[in-house]
Structure 1
Amino acid sequence: MGSLDEGWPEPVVCVQSLSDSGELSIPDRYIKPQPERPSLSVLNDMDIPIIDFNGLVTSPEATMKQISKACREWGFFQLVNHGVRTDLVDGVRETWREFFHEPMEVKQKYANSPKTYEGFGSRLGTEKGAILDWSDYYYLHYRPPCNTKWPDQPPSLSLLRAISTQTCPLTRLELGVDLSFLVSSGAKWPSYPVSKSVDSNVRKMNHMVLSNAIYKSVEHRVVVNPNKERVSLAYFYNPKSDMLIQPISELVTSKKPALYLPMTFEEYRRFIRTKGPQGKFQVESLKSPR
């Protein structure tokens, strides 16, 4: 098993460089096993739930029921009237696009290491031979802030600080809502038009373990577009590293004992940083032998 205190087990190659090279074959480390490859089936007649954020003020009970229903049946929803200006969102997305098109020597100034997520990277997982995602990423902490990892190129990246200030309080409020979620919708890919909303989805480990499997996690992924690049902005609200994640006592009974063993959030993160994204495998490994 790779160690977070050591370097990467293999040379890290920027995915964008591989894509721009014109090479027609994909390196083996990016080829997923057949069962993990996405289906190309697309469903156009399914509507992603839309939640009006204003409803949490004007009609909170009804809105929370809508969120609960959306999370039970879909695992995610689109949030409208959230207060984050669309021009700010567009500006941040375009600014990050500019950063990823900067020369490699500029991006490498912010390269991360197995010791930390923060910075520019192209792989998760320190195990040698791990299957990698076809993507580059830039990970930043909002709290606690780390100014040394904020890129200075392009200058407009200061926009990200502004949108972080607006988005994170929304996330905190969103997570304060009683969410019940997720049934698997099968190996289909719902397709919905681009909108100016914010997509919200629930996290695998936290909610599924805390709810003692009453809440079901969603499997979600982005399929690579063969014709153009994709830029996604994701915001996560995490517990403290030493917080113990285990089924809530009120949800554990003699008829339904605790289904998962306790684990700190730091242990969960170390699993991802060692093995890379593993879907629900890590959560399943926490199941109690009882």
Structure 2
Amino acid sequence: MSKRNRSKQNKKMNKNKKDVKIETEKSSMMDEWPEPIVRVQSLAESNLSTLPDRYIKPASQRPTMTEDAPAATNIPIIDLEGLFSEDGSSDDVIMAKISEACREWGFFQVVNHGVRPELMDAARENWREFFHLPVNAKETYSNSPRTYEGYGSRLGVEKGAILDWSDYYYLHHLPPHLKDFNKWPSSPPTIREVIDEYGKEVVQLCERIMRVLSSNLGLDKDKFQEAFGGKNIGACLRVNYYPKCPRPELALGLSSHSDPGGMTILLPDDQVFGLQVRKDNTWITVKPHPHAFIVNIGDQIQILSNSTYKSVEHRVIVNSERERVSLAFFYNPKSDIPIQPLQELVSTHNPPLYPPMTFDQYRLFIRTQGPRGKSHVESHVSPR
């Protein structure tokens, strides 16, 4: 072997060793949180008069507590009744409303969506009961940053990061091999049964909306679903618990971000407002409609549609008077399928904005960095 070839081989070997070292360090980093976990609920129940420094946001990120958008600027509310008739036809008016909402807002509320109201109420109240359990009962399900599955209190593994004022519980619904009831709470007694049934009904709603998203772009109605992996998709639930906060004007329950996945179906607390959506550089507080879901277009849908549909920044504010519980159900592509703009939506005049990337690769950003506005999807744009 020539000296030149040996040099090339040595460089390649050194690069491979460096790559392995980086991946090993990343893997190790994901095994545990960088600092001892403090439950926000415990802080809230200790009758604090001030806010710990770790939860005080920089001035530029703090909510304007007096800002309250008028009802006329609330996100669209769309009645899905009659969307699909028995003969398979669809309602053009409803389809057009969904199309406009996805292009202009990235958010909309749906009523008459097919999920039973009593199941929605039972799901939210079972989780409220869980968060009211003694600390020791909940710590049994403590999570790690590797999967986030279980009981948690932070996103991201940056040491010394400014944290959000919330606790949460994260669990898998699909694919079936990740669905492990032993990792779901066993108390209150009905929680596993209720959440399992809830997940099945919400998945059906997601499938219906996916058909609409495809059809509205002039595609075969199953095109988006096929791009996600057909029936082999991912679905998970994150239940958010926002305790009362002594200084809500300094904190956020969840920092500004766009959802990294495909689509989010949010069951809000319709008695306590908290979700804010960014529209034309203004934060609009969403007014939840009773027994409505809030549908949120995620980054993967934005990528598939080549930015025809928008994933939008949103955040959660907290208050000093009342706790808040919400359920975010994430409908995601199969984790190892490369997601990129659909060929039918690109041309010489409308080139693809994003290179292919699997959802596993994509979501690693938020799992390590935490929520950071639209920075990830924007950094993913292909150079012109």
- Alpha-carbon spacing, 1:222–1:23, altered in 2? closer, same or farther (3 Å): same
- Match for 2:62 among 21, 33, 37? 37
One-letter amino acid of the counterpart of residue 160, structure 1? I
Residue 121 (structure 1) shift? 0.4
Kindly indicate whether the alpha-carbon contact (under 8 Å) linking 1:130 and 1:275 is maintained by their aligned counterparts in 2: no
- Alpha-carbon spacing, 1:184–1:44, altered in 2? closer, same or farther (3 Å): closer
Residue 283 (structure 1) shift? 0.7
**CA–CA distance in 2 between the matches of 1:50 and 1:186?**
21
**CA–CA distance in 2 between the matches of 1:132 and 1:270?**
18
Deviations 1:65-119 (A, max 9, x none): 1111122232222211122222221121111111011111110101111111211
**CA–CA distance in 2 between the matches of 1:111 and 1:45?**
40
Q: Bigger shift: 96-105 or 44-53?
A: 44-53
Residue matched to 2:200: 165
Asked if 1:210 is matched to 2:210, the reply is: no
Considering only CA atoms, is the larger Rg found in Structure 1 or Structure 2?
Answer: 2
Residue matched to 2:33: 8
**CA–CA distance in 2 between the matches of 1:137 and 1:236?**
14
Which structure has the higher relative contact order (CA within 8 Å, separation 6+)?
1
**CA–CA distance in 2 between the matches of 1:215 and 1:80?**
21
Deviations 1:236-269 (A, max 9, x none): 1111111112222233333333222322100112
**CA–CA distance in 1 between the matches of 2:128 and 2:279?**
33
Partner of 2:295, secondary structure, is strand
Partner of 2:294, secondary structure, is strand
Pairing 1:232-247 to 2, within 5 Å after superposition: 232-247=326-341
One-letter amino acid of the counterpart of residue 24, structure 1? S
Identity %: 52
- Alpha-carbon spacing, 1:127–1:69, altered in 2? closer, same or farther (3 Å): same
One-letter amino acid of the counterpart of residue 43, structure 1? A
- Alpha-carbon spacing, 1:214–1:165, altered in 2? closer, same or farther (3 Å): closer
Kindly indicate whether the alpha-carbon contact (under 8 Å) linking 1:44 and 1:192 is maintained by their aligned counterparts in 2: no
Residue 193 (structure 1) shift? 5.5
Deviations 1:16-58 (A, max 9, x none): 0111111222223322222222333112231432222223124
Pairing 1:114-153 to 2, within 5 Å after superposition: 114-143=145-174, 144=176, 145-153=179-187
Kindly indicate whether the alpha-carbon contact (under 8 Å) linking 2:297 and 2:309 is maintained by their aligned counterparts in 1: no
Asked if 1:226 is matched to 2:317, the reply is: no
Q: Bigger shift: 93-102 or 246-255?
A: 246-255
**Which ranges in structure 2 are unaligned for 5 or more consecutive residues?**
1-24, 218-276
**Which ranges in structure 1 are unaligned for 5 or more consecutive residues?**
none
Asked if 1:48 is matched to 2:75, the reply is: yes
Residue 146 (structure 1) shift? 1.2
**CA–CA distance in 2 between the matches of 1:185 and 1:162?**
38
Q: Bigger shift: 272-281 or 244-253?
A: 244-253
Kindly indicate whether the alpha-carbon contact (under 8 Å) linking 1:42 and 1:191 is maintained by their aligned counterparts in 2: no
- Alpha-carbon spacing, 1:20–1:51, altered in 2? closer, same or farther (3 Å): same
One-letter amino acid of the counterpart of residue 84, structure 1? V
**CA–CA distance in 2 between the matches of 1:187 and 1:106?**
41
Partner of 2:169, secondary structure, is strand
- Match for 1:18 among 21, 32, 43? 43
Q: Bigger shift: 131-140 or 82-91?
A: 82-91
Residue matched to 1:251: 345
One-letter amino acid of the counterpart of residue 167, structure 2? D
One-letter amino acid of the counterpart of residue 55, structure 1? G
**CA–CA distance in 2 between the matches of 1:193 and 1:35?**
27
Residue matched to 1:174: 209
Q: Bigger shift: 188-197 or 152-161?
A: 188-197
Residue matched to 1:93: 124
**CA–CA distance in 2 between the matches of 1:213 and 1:34?**
31
Kindly indicate whether the alpha-carbon contact (under 8 Å) linking 2:355 and 2:380 is maintained by their aligned counterparts in 1: yes
Partner of 1:274, secondary structure, is helix
- Alpha-carbon spacing, 1:7–1:191, altered in 2? closer, same or farther (3 Å): closer
Kindly indicate whether the alpha-carbon contact (under 8 Å) linking 1:132 and 1:276 is maintained by their aligned counterparts in 2: no
Kindly indicate whether the alpha-carbon contact (under 8 Å) linking 1:75 and 1:183 is maintained by their aligned counterparts in 2: no
Residue matched to 1:75: 106
- Alpha-carbon spacing, 1:174–1:193, altered in 2? closer, same or farther (3 Å): closer
Kindly indicate whether the alpha-carbon contact (under 8 Å) linking 1:73 and 1:183 is maintained by their aligned counterparts in 2: no
TM-score w.r.t. the length of structure 1 is: 0.91
Kindly indicate whether the alpha-carbon contact (under 8 Å) linking 1:39 and 1:187 is maintained by their aligned counterparts in 2: no
Poorly superposed stretches of 4+, deviation over 4 Å: 1-4
Q: Bigger shift: 33-42 or 17-26?
A: 33-42
